[in-house]
Amino acid sequence: MPVAIETKGLTKDYRSPVKEPGLWGGVKSLFDRKWKDTRAVDGVTFSIEEGELVGFLGANGAGKTTTLKMLSGLLTPTSGEATALGFTPWERRPDFQRSISLVMGQRSQLWWEIPAYETFKLNQAIYGLSEADFRRHLDELVELLELGEHLSVPVKKLSLGQRMRCELAAALLHRPRLLLLDEPTIGLDVVMQKNVREFIKAYNKRSGSTIMLTSHNMTDVVELCRRVIVIEKGRLLYDGALDRLVERYAGHKIMRARFTADVDAADLKSLGTVVKYEDRTATLEVPRERMAASAAALLRTYPVADLNVEEVAIDDIVRRLFTHE
Amino acid sequence: MRAALSKYWRIWLRTASMAMQAQLTYRLGSFGFLLGKMMRLMFFFAFMAAVFNHVETVAGYNLVETALFFMTYNLVDMTAQILFRGVYGARRTVSEGDFDFYLVQPCSPLFRMTCSSVDFLDIITIIPVIVMTGMTFARLPPIGWEGYAAYALLMANGVALIFAIHVLVAALAVRTQELESAIWIYRDVMFMGKFPVDVYAPAVRWALTLGIPIAVMTTFPAKALLGRLSFGWIAYAFALTAVALPLSYWFWRDSVARYTSSSS
Amino acid sequence: MRTYWVAYQIALQETLQRRSTLLMDRVGGFAIVVSLYSFWTALIGDKATFLGYTREEMLTYVLALNVLRSFVFTGRGWQLVGEISSGKISSYLVRPLSYHGYALALDLAQKTVHVCASFIEVGLLALLVRGGLFLPSDPATWLLFGAAVLMSSLLFFFLEFMISSLAFWTSESGGPLFCFELFLQFAAGAFFPLDVLPEGLRRALEATPFPYMIYFPVRVFLEKVPTSEALSLLGREAMWLAAVYLCAMAVWRRGVRSYAAEGG
């Protein structure tokens, strides 16, 4: 398989002026400004093969988005190298730009007051698509994303989920060979998240394009990616199969129970690891395979008022990974 | 080359039509702005006409000549607004992330930013200005084709200079993600171009010719048409643009390379 | 009363903190004053007077314009439009506070800063240009001027408020507001003394409240209006103010009611 993305020691510093207080400080900084560097991405090296669907994980501010922005050519790195589809992204060659797309869950390229179809037509002009290609690609996307009548409604009148699907269509009209997705499911309800995920999976399979995706949502990653790359504080922590990551670091779920009467915390140990017990509320870590049995046992044995089961937050897994290393 | 031109022309047309559709969703608002713009034009014209009821000349120019200066100012200024209005929203374009998309797509981000909000009201307003300029021309003594050629070329030169200023403002927005009001200073200072530069005190006149070259943009074309601009100054006007354009473009490139993208 | 005093102080600090915006505002306004002054100087040329204004009086008119723009033409209309369309207005309506009083306090803070800045600019200009300022010696003139300016300022405030209240019914009240402000600047005499206009047009304008905002106070200051006439004009201004105030409040009440009915 040919390589789609390759980075070597990719590093990005953000430089920001140090603000001095007061009027005099303001005047002084006009002439003699002091700068502070913050390292957002620190020597990241990895390579991705064509057709792969890779999850990119990390806590807030870990440098995921910055890396994606460098790979799409939006930002110029401070040092290090990267090639994507054989190009240096930040040279922004038109041939490169015609082969990629960047989707940001919190940003929109659609024009707010008018129907999404207009933005599609604009993208047709920008990417130089022939009328026939435009029609063909659009029809396919309309079907896959079930856009139908949404195309002719002003974007501001669409729901968040409908808008996100239009956003994806706008980004895919030119059939990019490399797709960079930054939090594509953020803010969507559970059903919508599922739809978007299924679409991404189908698109990857159908077009064979390379996809790199960041998400806070563990389900996104679990359902879509066989391989994940984890970064923390700008450094690469883990690069490998997702199975091994979740097995190693999130082999359990979190069970939270509130009781109507006091319970001896020591007795709960048989159900899982007690992380916390206070105010008649217990938090336990329960291995995945024992979850159902433990919950049943808990309900049977104790006066339970409320019971809650959650996945471990992705930030937690990453933090664990960080402390274990 | 031709393919690129036709591509950019298509993108411009699309953006203009989209901006118009977006604007038409605000009919009352648009009508208010249109009326306001027309009123400003009419009032100023009425004012000039009223002034010449009381005097023969202002700074050595008669009514028709003063009107020529005023119309030229409007033509240059409105052409620039039609073409470069997008820069007025440069800071918002950057802070709301639209600029991220401009950078990723195969089309010059500077072009996208500049033409991102073509205002069709500007296009409507420029029609009476063109008609009035024609009427002013008709009242001037006969002028040779060289005069008209110099006029047209210097106007184009003025628009190019204004473009350089807009590039500078856009670059500042990309670089610092603030400084929204920079463009409004330009708008206010541009107000001085409504009168021929000769009405100003020498110091101000020099500042407007050499410093912030408002005079070169607005007064020079009309002066050349009236045959009152020496060849040296014409050469200076073109030389200024020849220097300003590459400089501002260089500053833009440098700012884009330092672009940090606002965090989402 | 204390609440408004606190609002005033906070707004004052905020205005001072946004130094770059303040600076840009002032530079822009200053450019307009310089160009108007230059134009009038060119008009007067070597003559002793123009339209009955001596050079000294003309300079004073332009400089007074700068101060009055800062004192009269600083309303809160755009803020109101913004707060209505964003729905933020609701948070004021539920509080035991008069929105008008609150907006007036904020406005006063803005006026304080801008008037101080305009005094500095006026001082600078008066030093730089020849001609000197006209300062009335009769204390009665100052008193009349003060009363006129105070009412002008309130007149503008409530007129602008009335137009901005349209935002309760439509999301596009920006257009009418823009239109109104442009018209106002001309009709109030903020670009040129209304004497320059043909008799008929001037009389028509004098039947509206607009000339009371700039033209009338400045003429009082220049002692161009006999005291008895000034007093009767002040009376008429007071009537306009009362009428505008009542209308603005009525529109406001209806607006709030329809806003509440729609649930914001």
DSSP per-residue string spanning C68-127:
HHHHHS--SHHHHHHHHHHTTHHHHHTSSS-HHHHHHHHHHHHHHHHHHHHHHHHHHHHH
Across the interface, of B33, B185, B204, the residue whose CB is closest to C178 is B33
- A33, A114, A186, A215: best to mutate for the B interface, most B CBs within 10 A: A114
Q: Tell me if B18 and A14 make a contact (CB, 8 A cut-off).
A: no
Contacts of B55 in chain C (CB under 8 A): 43, 45, 50
Chains in contact with A, counting 3 or more C-beta pairs less than 8 Å apart as contact: B
The residue type found at C72 is: V
> Is the distance from CB of B195 to CB of C38 less than 8 angstroms?
yes
Q: How far is A15 from chain B (nearest CA, A)?
A: 9
pLDDT for the residue numbered B92? 82
The alpha-carbon gap from C99 to the nearest alpha carbon of chain B, in Å, equals: 25
Residue B103's alpha-carbon distances to A93, A94, B29, B189, C118, in angstroms, are 11, 11, 32, 32, 43
Res. A247 pLDDT band, cuts 50 70 90: low
Q: Number of helices (H) and strands (E), helices first, in chain C?
A: 11, 2
Q: Poorest-confidence range of A234-243, B102-111, C29-38, C151-160?
A: C29-38
* Chain B residues closer than 8 Å to A69 by CB: 100, 261
Candidates B28, B46, B199; nearest CB to C175: B28
Q: Does position A92 have pLDDT exceeding 50, yes or no?
A: yes
Q: Of A276 and A126, which is predicted with more confidence? A: A126
Whether pLDDT at B15 is above 80: yes
Q: How many domains does chain C have?
A: 1
pLDDT at residue B29 greater than cutoff 80: no
Residue found under tokens 């049943």: A296
C246 phi-psi bin (left φ>0, alpha ψ -120 to 50, beta other): alpha
Chain A residue with the nearest C-alpha to that of B94: A107
| Three-class DSSP category at A60 | coil
Prediction pTM value: 0.81
**Which are the contacts of C31, defined by CB distance < 8 A and separation ≥ 6?**
B188, B189, B191, B192
Q: What is the mean pLDDT of residues C10-39?
A: 78
Asked whether the CA dihedral B198, B203, B209, B215 is positive or negative, the reply is: negative
Mind listing the pLDDT tens digit for each residue in A127-162?
999 999 999 999 999 988 888 888 999 998 898 889
pLDDT at A170: 95
Tell me if chain B has a CB within 8 Å of the CB of C179.
Answer: yes
A-chain residues within 8 Å CB-CB of B7?
A: 125, 128
* Average confidence (pLDDT) over A112-124: 93
Extract the tokens encoding C202.
């001037």
Copy the structure tokens of residue C159: 């007129």
Residues of C in contact with B50 (CB under 8 A): 196-198
Contact A11, A77 (CB under 8 A): yes
What are the structural domain ranges in chain A? 53-73+86-243, 250-324
DSSP A87: B
Q: What is the reported pLDDT for A323?
A: 60
Q: Which residues contact A130 (CB under 8 A, 6 or more apart)?
A: none
Quote the CA–CA distance of A268 and A303 in Å, as a whole number. 13
Q: Which tens digits make up the pLDDT trace of C237-264?
A: 999 999 999 999 999 999 888 887 665 4
Q: B2 CB near a chain C CB, below 8 Å?
A: no
Chain A residues within 8 Å of chain B (Cβ atoms):
14-15, 65, 69, 72-76, 92, 94, 97-98, 100-102, 104, 106-107, 109, 111-114, 118-119, 121-123, 125-128, 154, 182-183
ipTM exceeding the 0.90 mark: no
- pLDDT exceeds cutoff 80 at B110: yes
The CATH number given to A53-73+86-243 is 3.40.50.300
pLDDT one-digit tens code per residue, B112-146: 999 878 888 888 889 999 999 999 999 988 888 88
Q: How far is B99 from chain A (nearest CA, A)?
A: 9
Average pLDDT of the residues in B246-264 = 86
Q: DSSP labels for B151-190? A: HHHHHHHHHHHHHHHHHHHHHHHHHHS--TTHHHHHHHHH
Overall average pLDDT of the C50-73 stretch:
87
Residues B182-234 have pLDDT tens digits of 777 788 788 888 888 888 888 888 888 888 888 999 999 999 999 888 999 99
CA distance B213 to B204: 11
The whole-number average pLDDT for the span B142-164 is: 93
Q: Is B262 on the interface with A (CB under 8 A)?
A: no
The candidate with the shortest Cα–Cα distance to A251, out of A318, A317, A309, is: A317
pLDDT at A181: 94
Return mean pLDDT, chain B: 88
**Mean pLDDT, to the nearest integer, of C221-237?**
91
| Inter-chain touch B106–A69, beta carbons under 8 Å | no
- Classify domain A250-324 at the CATH class level: alpha beta
C175–B181 CB contact, under 8 Å: no
Q: What are the pLDDT digits (tens) for A11-59?
A: 999 877 676 665 565 555 555 667 788 899 999 999 999 999 999 988 7
Range of the domain at C21: 2-261
Partner residues linked to A57 by β-bridges? A230
Residue-wise pLDDT for C169-210, tens only, equals 877 777 788 888 888 888 898 888 888 888 888 899 889 999
